[in-house]
Amino acid sequence: MRTPPGMSERQFRQAVDRFIGAVGAGNVYTDEADVDLYRDPYTPLWGQEGERIASAAVAPASVEEVQAVMRIANELRVPMYPISTGRNLAYGAAAPAYSGSVVLDLKRMNRILDVDQVNHSVLVEPGVSYFDLYRHFQENNVRMIIDTPDPGWGSPIGNSLDRGGGYTMAHFRNHFDAHCGMEVVLADGTLLRTGMGALPGAKTWQQYKTGCGPWIDGIFSQSNFGVVTKMGLWLMPEPEAYMRGTVYVPRYQDLHRFVEILNYCENVKLFTGMPSLYSPLLGIVPMSQLADSMAKPPQLTGQQAALIAAAELGYSPELEAYALREGVPYWGLDMPMYGPPEVIAAQWAAIKRRFSEIKGATFQDGEVIDFPVSKADEARVHLPEFGITSLRMFSIISRSPLSPVAFSGHMGLSPIIPRTGAAIIEANQVFQEVAREYGLPTLGSFTLPLLYWERAFIFIFSVMFTRDPAVDAKTVAGVRALIRIAGEHGWGEYRTPPVFQGDVMAQYSFNDHALMRLHEKIKDAVDPNGILSAGRYGIWPAHLREKKQ
C-alpha cells in the first residue's frame, strides 16, 4: 500500500477506513493496480524518481460524500487531488501534482442537472463528459451546440477549470468564460455557491455570472482552493448554418497586414468561429484541417521542400519567388461563420472587401453546411466546430506531421504571444534556437500560432516523450529552457502539466513573485491544513512551501 508522505501505513489505513465509511468500500482504491490507472500515461518521467503518483483514490457519488471525504482528509491531514474525468492527457491527466496525494475522483458525480433551452445553458456535475452531454442532447432533441475540445471524453467542468478551449464562438470556446455559477466544497468540507447561486432558491444561477460583491469564481479555476461540484455553462443555440471562408495572400511580408485585418474582423465580430492561420507554401496545416476532408492539405513539391529547408524563419527570396511563380500562397486564413445563410454570405462579402487591400489576395468560398449536421457531413468535417464529440483527433495526431518520431505521449507547450505578424516571426526565431540546442523537433521548423483565444496568439507545440529516460531528460531540459527563455521575452504559458507548473509559475515573478505570495496567503486562509491540490500550479501549502518539489 502506498502512503502519503509523512503518514505511516497504520495512519493511512485509518484514513482509508474512514473514506470507506463515507463512500463505500467499492469506491476507495488502494491496490497498486487500481491506483496505477491514475498515473499520467504521457508523463516524461515514467517510472522515474520525479513521476507524480497517487497513494489511493476515492470516488464519492454526491456532494454530501465529497463533503464527508474532505472533512476526514482535513482532520487527518491527507493530501487530496480532485479530478473530474482526468483525461487531459497532454496536461497531466489524473496524476496528482504532489506524489502520494489521494485522488478525489469525481467520475461518479455524472448527473446533468438542468438543460435550459430558453436561456441556453446547462448545470452539470464534474463527472459528466462532453460525450455524456452530447448523448443526452441527441436523445432529447436538444438544439444547442456543445463547445467541445477535440477529444470528447473530458469533462466540461474539468476543462473549464483548467481553462481549456474549444472551436465555436469566442465566448463559448473560452470554456472558463462560458461558465456561469459554481458550487464548491472547501478543504474543510464547507459547501458554498457562487454568483447568484449564493441566494437560496436562486432563479438566475445559470443566467448572471458575478452575483454581488467580489467575484470569487476565478480563484477556483485550477482547483487550488476548492472542489467544484456543480457548474453552469452557457451554450450556443443551434445556428442555421456554418461556412468557412478562406483568404490567401501571396508574400511573406503580407503576414503583418494579414494579422491586422484578421484582428479587426474578429474583434468587430464580422465572423464568430475560431480562425486558423496556415501556410500552403510552407506546408503548415491548421489543427482543425487535420480532421477534415473538406480541407485540402497542401502537397509539397520536391523543389518546394528543398527551398523551405534552406529558408530562414520561413523566408528566402528564392522561396518567395517560387511561391509567386507557382501561385502557391504564402499565408492562408480560415474564418468560420455561424448563422443564417444570408448573414454568412454578407459577412463573407464584407470580409473579402477588407482583405482585398492586400495585393494579390485570393478567396475561397467554403461549402455551406446546415444544422443539424447530416451523417454524410459528419464524416468529413472537423466535428468540434459543429458541437459533435469524438476522439478522432487521437488517430489523426498519430499519423500527422505533428508526430515525426515514435512516441509514448506528448505535452502541450503553450506560450501566449501578441497577435501580430512581428511576434510570430520573433517567437519562431527564439523557439528555433531552443529547439536546436535541445533537439526538440516540433519546435524546429517554422510554426504558426493557434487562435483559440480572442486577442492573443498561442503556440501549442506538441512535445513528444518516448519513455527512453535519456531522450526524455533532454526533452524535459528543453521544455524548461523554453519556458524560461519565453518568460524572458515576456511570453508566458497559459497552462502546463504538473511537472512544469513550478517552472511556468516562476516566470510570473513580477515584484518578487507578489502574485504567488498572494496565492499563498489565500491558500493558508482557505485551506489552513494544506490538504487540497498541494503543488498545483506551484502553490504549496505552508508546511511544504520550503520544499517546493
- Contacting a copy of itself within 427-466 (CB under 8 A): 453-456
Nearest distance from residue 284's CB to a copy of itself, in Å?
Answer: 22
Cis peptide before 401 (omega within 30 of 0): no
Question: In Å, how far are 61, 75, 219, 535 from 66, measured between CA atoms?
Answer: 8, 14, 19, 21
Give every CB contact of residue 156 below 8 A, 6+ residues apart in sequence. Answer: 122, 124, 128, 129, 130, 133, 146, 175, 231, 233
Within positions 103 to 122, which residues make up the interface with a copy of itself, using CB under 8 A? Answer: 118-121
Residue selected from 272, 389, 432, 529 as contacting a copy of itself according to rule CB under 8 A = 272
Within positions 164 to 193, which residues make up the interface with a copy of itself, using CB under 8 A? Answer: 169, 171, 176-177, 180, 186, 190-193
Any contact of residue 412 with a copy of itself (CB under 8 A)?
no
Distance CA 235, CA 171 (A): 9
Q: For the window 51-90, what string marks contact with a copy of itself as x by the rule CB under 8 A?
A: ----------------------------------------
Grid coordinates given for 120:
441556453
Whether 539 and 224 have beta carbons less than 8 Å apart is answered as: yes
Distance CA 303, CA 520 (A): 56
Grid coordinates given for 212:
454581488
| Number of C-beta neighbours around residue 403 at 10 A | 16
Distance CA 196, CA 121 (A): 15
Distance of CA 60 to the CA centre of its chain: 26
Within positions 391 to 410, which residues make up the interface with a copy of itself, using CB under 8 A? Answer: none
DSSP string, 417-446: EESSHHHHHHHHHHHHHHHHHHT-GGGTS-
Element of type H or E holding 317 = helix 317-326
Nearest distance from residue 378's CB to a copy of itself, in Å?
Answer: 21
Nearer to a copy of itself, 30 or 174 (CB): 174
The strand ranges marked E within 289-395 are 331-339, 362-364, 369-370
Nearest distance from residue 204's CB to a copy of itself, in Å?
Answer: 5
Within positions 486 to 505, which residues make up the interface with a copy of itself, using CB under 8 A? Answer: 487-496, 501, 504-505
Region of 7-15, 372-380, 461-469, 533-541 interacting with a copy of itself (CB under 8 A): 533-541
Nearer to a copy of itself, 175 or 392 (CB): 175
Residue selected from 522, 544, 545, 549 as contacting a copy of itself according to rule CB under 8 A = 522
Within positions 195 to 234, which residues make up the interface with a copy of itself, using CB under 8 A? Answer: 196-204, 206-208, 210-222, 224-225, 234
Nearer to a copy of itself, 26 or 201 (CB): 201
Whether 314 and 446 have beta carbons less than 8 Å apart is answered as: yes
- How deeply is 13 buried, as exposed, middle or buried, from its count of CB atoms within 10 A (0-12, 13-18, 19+)? middle
* Selection from 369, 130, 339 nearest residue 236 by Cα: 339
Nearer to a copy of itself, 296 or 543 (CB): 543
Nearer to a copy of itself, 382 or 495 (CB): 495
How many chain residues interact with a copy of itself (CB under 8 A)?
110
Residue selected from 124, 270, 464, 534 as contacting a copy of itself according to rule CB under 8 A = 270
Any contact of residue 141 with a copy of itself (CB under 8 A)?
no
DSSP assignment letter at 390 = B
Let me know how long the chain is. 549
Within positions 335 to 394, which residues make up the interface with a copy of itself, using CB under 8 A? Answer: 338-340, 342-343, 345-347, 349-350, 353
Whether 247 and 361 have beta carbons less than 8 Å apart is answered as: yes
Any contact of residue 541 with a copy of itself (CB under 8 A)?
no
Any contact of residue 542 with a copy of itself (CB under 8 A)?
no
Nearer to a copy of itself, 171 or 296 (CB): 171
